[in-house]
Structure 1
């Protein structure tokens, strides 16, 4: 049960006059703000102090399931195998390579391996995020980037792999991307503007001072990104907003030349370019929505920059199947499709019949993890489900034969068949059928169980079912886990995404509520045993449904929650605001202002009872500023009418993704699970106290 908070006084934030009484919390680094955040952290620690033994138990049991010393599946490239190795006690994997075996196997020769990068030494026990890790085409140099604060601003480095000499490049405000040209001397990288948007592409030649400006994108809605095409023969500069894109291309052999526009931007036209071969001829492959919202695939000649009139349909648009992406090899292309809410890989070998990859589960996650070398006739797929650990499967593109190369181990007692993975469908108020992925113990199918329900629902992102070592600590204690695949995500195609954005955003919240009601009505759980969770835009989802239907839930977790959405979207000087107009709308427009204000969690906190709530923020978060969570919690403290826990934890040395390092990540999960168990009265594995 919840800890007794009578002996501890919750911090009460000062309220100023004006429309936003807690706006003063946005004054970063001021003594008053730091004191308030530290007081909230101390309060959270005090009220959850009695859970410390449970947190440690959870940490140890989760860690005990993970093979702490392990080797990644090596990737062959040229004369080398590249791979990582994790070692017990280390927060980060080390990066290695060894000579490629003559038999083309994946066998690592430790006697000849070279250590390329050790992030553990670079982190020095602080925050560390490795951005780019990119080997030059001649395999002599390593380009990598590091973020040491969590603010997603990176420092760029180049390492000579023969001598070990490291050069820090003298550039600031970098997004961390680094792309090699084929001369192995020229690097392209992106710079951030004042709103944290990649907006300039720069070109740097090793050994020379400074960098040349290659491209500048003035439209604040557009992000800039440079990448190598599958063929390794072309560089692609992609400019894209939430609704429109434009690609510029450059021969990778001539990095000093100018990029050429593949197709000028037209509002609403999204297209994504790659370069490869079709029937032995070099072609451009273009995934475009010009024929319909679910995208079609076109090809065009590559001996010159083609016009849109020269695009020829290769895979036509479908009203029922979403074309999400493609992977190119010299003699086959692999389509990433989505149909009926599930991911599908369709392979089209040149000169042979197309086929779809067959898989054993009804609900799962599947994607092309590694297309290997362009000349390869094999690719690697990553496959997992809620009750099945991730597998890396090798697929022979020509025959369709699959071979499991590696399965993520689960140490200790574990049987996938002890748990049942299901796909359910809830009915929203407007009649829409909303999918739910659910996993629970086989022995719990005939009775209500405590349930952890997760949601996101934004940007067209798909939450395909995934396996989690940590989640077994829920399942072993009789807690089920479910994902609500609400509108705003991409699970059922582009139309599903569009039905949960802009003026349709309320559908996201209605869908989540419908999923919760369905799970209760079907006897899967009860309202007093239902915990919900979401992060970032999923935190907005959690905040909104807590305001609208608080009685449905026992507890909630909101991680880096986007809850001050109206004030954030009204401030174009904040990072990423302008680029978000296509997702949420521009509240400078009166109708959009009213629409956002109607659901924004911060504005809609009411004098009502709320479930127990744990809110986690990152002080260095550049995507969702720390003050969104702090202001929301401050307002909840003064308006809610219950005595349930309301806790704010601000990670003072972390960003949007939380603390870095695998062990710290496990401790964060242990904190959240212990909070949920405390609210549910769950004492030990398989044991429930009366709630």
Structure 2
């Protein structure tokens, strides 16, 4: 039998703080020992892991062409090829008849990440073509730490220029002169805090803006009209926008509305009633946001006029603009809604076939286009790209992600359930299973997140079919702290209300058990990042409810992290978790922090996954948590830690490596649940 690595305990109050010494020989030895222990414990699962990998890969069309996007004289698209980890980026001349068919004989290879990776880690940040289509600006992260190098490629000659700037966040924004690029620099806390302006062919760059407040990130982007540049400064609760005519990039940005605590707004530029105008999404009249408009000449706050009033039942999540319409992304009763406002015509909502689904505006195409593209998927329905005619509402499915081999969406049942929280709040659950599985307790994989107002809308997964075909049920707990039911839902699961996220998740688990979908001996739970905090907290509170848990890059050492302002992102997170330098906040975080609350009790089988180069959730959070669990727990269940030594927050970068990671997690679950009584 392999022996689990036992981490030594230091004499400090934090017994495993020594694991925070990055690149220390003892730390690396311990992490490698944990990896070796995992492989030894799962060695008998090797054939199953390989079977799962081949099974999942076999459902994916390995050689495929993305849906081409028309822009100017070109069609832009990506092509994936069997055996390659990354898609290649291409363009070809745009057919004069408006078709989307590509001509391989005339196509031009723009970028090949496979060649750039050369077998190592690589992540593509920006990929942006100059307005005249002559240049490509792109950025690359080669370690997983989310620090990028910047490049410009001449698409006529093929010459590549490396821009001489360090500590970049990866963003690149063109001005309309095709010579000026704006980019952001990271501070020591990994926060984009400075905006620079660089003119091609010149040395250095000019500092345009510096954000001194550690809670605020800056981000520069082009407006939908392509006529304006927008600089957004935002914390978790407050924002401020500055704008600049894209034709005069050497000018000064102007502020639309100076920051005011708890006022969040974002802006876009387009046309309204035949005139150039600003459209502003703001929460100044209510937490679910309203829509305002202002003339191009007078965008300041005192000139805003209301277009769409605040609705306490409907969240205004986003805004998309075309020359002839504006499109609102709404959320009502836990579901995403697309509402179209064609100029001069009645507004309408996009109609869709499923009861629970994911829906978003994927691409507004060119500003003058009468069409936009929507991305639509459900737990049992692969992602579709739907073309929407803005004036009429007519839809056309342009592409559906293929599932190779036997697959019938109707063989799976997708449901929306509701669990009752302790305070009576109804918590939505999205669920999918094969028809014949429902009606009796089955292995169930319950996923959760519940932070930052992010919504876990139902999504399709090729890999998940391997569990569903083995009799699993898959469910998502839409707990408070997420954004599924609007801003109030988010606020009810953050700061002093964070405990609601944990009790909601437990209520969902209890509801699924009480309703006969599963039993505690068959219930596996999973979450990543802030969702890993959720998993760690509920494991401490109700370990007997679960048979297995997977925590990916888990934010489990929240109290120590939030007390260290030198770590990336800590100060910006005060609005989400609170500042533990306040004694009341300290006590509150300490009451639920997973690492702090590990105690002598039986825990289910646990797999924790970390990325050594992760700049968001440091690798040592999982390592310290596992070390404390191993020293404290009273059971003999599996406790495994996998640290990807060459990866960051998102894991390994290639598509095949990602499938191998999923196969590892699934084999762990199948091993654990196979022994359930």
TM category (shorter chain) comes to over 0.9
Structure 2 Cα separation of the partners of residues 260 and 351 of structure 1:
31
Contact 2:522 2:676 in 1 (8 A): no
1:554 aligns with 2:550: no
Structure 2 Cα separation of the partners of residues 106 and 468 of structure 1:
27
How is 1:610-689 mapped onto 2 (pairs within 5 angstroms)?
610-681=603-674
Q: 1:76 aligns to what SS in structure 2? A: strand
| Cα separation, partners in 2 of 1:444 and 1:215, compared to 1, 3 Å | same
Structure 2 Cα separation of the partners of residues 307 and 211 of structure 1:
29
Q: CA deviation at 1:18?
A: 2.0
Structure 2 Cα separation of the partners of residues 474 and 518 of structure 1:
21
Q: CA deviation at 1:19?
A: 1.3
Contact 2:456 2:476 in 1 (8 A): yes
Partner of 1:276: 270
1:570 aligns with 2:563: yes
Q: TM-score, normalised by structure 1?
A: 0.98
How is 1:216-231 mapped onto 2 (pairs within 5 angstroms)?
216-231=210-225
1:289 aligns with 2:275: no
Structure 2 Cα separation of the partners of residues 72 and 97 of structure 1:
11
1:125 aligns with 2:142: no
Q: CA deviation at 1:575?
A: 0.4
1:103 aligns with 2:97: yes
Partner of 1:259: 253
Q: CA deviation at 1:85?
A: 0.2
Q: Paired residue for 2:587, among 589, 594, 598?
A: 594
Partner of 1:406: 399
Partner of 2:441: 448
Structure 2 Cα separation of the partners of residues 209 and 307 of structure 1:
35
How is 1:380-419 mapped onto 2 (pairs within 5 angstroms)?
380-419=373-412
Note the alpha carbon deviations across 1:530-557, whole angstroms, 9 max, x for none.
0000000000000000000000000000
1:49 aligns with 2:53: no
Partner of 1:511: 504
Structure 1 Cα separation of the partners of residues 10 and 387 of structure 2:
61
Q: 2:326 aligns to what SS in structure 1? A: strand
Q: TM-score, normalised by structure 2?
A: 1.00
Q: 1:620 aligns to what SS in structure 2? A: coil
Q: Paired residue for 2:230, among 228, 231, 236?
A: 236
Q: Paired residue for 1:473, among 466, 474, 486?
A: 466
1:182 aligns with 2:176: yes
Structure 1 Cα separation of the partners of residues 313 and 63 of structure 2:
44
1:421 aligns with 2:410: no
Structure 2 Cα separation of the partners of residues 97 and 576 of structure 1:
38
Q: 1:443 aligns to what SS in structure 2? A: coil
Q: Paired residue for 1:90, among 81, 84, 89?
A: 84
Q: CA deviation at 1:181?
A: 0.2
Q: 2:586 aligns to what SS in structure 1? A: helix
Structure 1 Cα separation of the partners of residues 118 and 424 of structure 2:
54
Partner of 2:513: 520
Structure 1 Cα separation of the partners of residues 309 and 6 of structure 2:
59
Structure 1 Cα separation of the partners of residues 99 and 222 of structure 2:
26
Q: 1:519 aligns to what SS in structure 2? A: helix
Q: CA deviation at 1:644?
A: 0.1
Q: CA deviation at 1:307?
A: 2.7
Partner of 1:685: none
Structure 2 Cα separation of the partners of residues 19 and 317 of structure 1:
50
Partner of 1:113: 107
Partner of 2:134: 140
Partner of 1:208: 202
Partner of 1:320: 313
Query: Any unmatched runs of 5+ in structure 1?
Result: 1-6, 682-688
Q: 2:55 aligns to what SS in structure 1? A: helix
Q: CA deviation at 1:446?
A: 1.3
Q: CA deviation at 1:455?
A: 0.3
Structure 1 Cα separation of the partners of residues 578 and 293 of structure 2:
34
Structure 2 Cα separation of the partners of residues 618 and 445 of structure 1:
37
Q: Paired residue for 1:153, among 143, 147, 155?
A: 147
How is 1:24-43 mapped onto 2 (pairs within 5 angstroms)?
24-43=18-37
Task: Count matched residues.
Answer: 677
Q: CA deviation at 1:151?
A: 0.1
Partner of 2:454: 461
Q: CA deviation at 1:690?
A: 6.3
Contact 2:451 2:530 in 1 (8 A): yes
Note the alpha carbon deviations across 1:14-69, whole angstroms, 9 max, x for none.
11112101111100001110111011111111001110100000000000000000
Note the alpha carbon deviations across 1:124-152, whole angstroms, 9 max, x for none.
10000000000000000000000000000
Partner of 1:63: 57
Q: 2:171 aligns to what SS in structure 1? A: strand
Moved over 4 A (4+): none
Partner of 2:489: 496
Q: 1:15 aligns to what SS in structure 2? A: coil
Structure 2 Cα separation of the partners of residues 447 and 113 of structure 1:
54
Structure 2 Cα separation of the partners of residues 634 and 241 of structure 1:
34
Q: CA deviation at 1:309?
A: 1.9
Q: 1:458 aligns to what SS in structure 2? A: coil
Q: CA deviation at 1:622?
A: 0.2
Q: CA deviation at 1:104?
A: 0.9
Tell me which moved more, 175-184 or 306-315: 306-315
Query: Any unmatched runs of 5+ in structure 2?
Result: none
Q: CA deviation at 1:404?
A: 0.2
1:545 aligns with 2:538: yes
Partner of 2:163: 169
Note the alpha carbon deviations across 1:76-96, whole angstroms, 9 max, x for none.
000000000000000000000
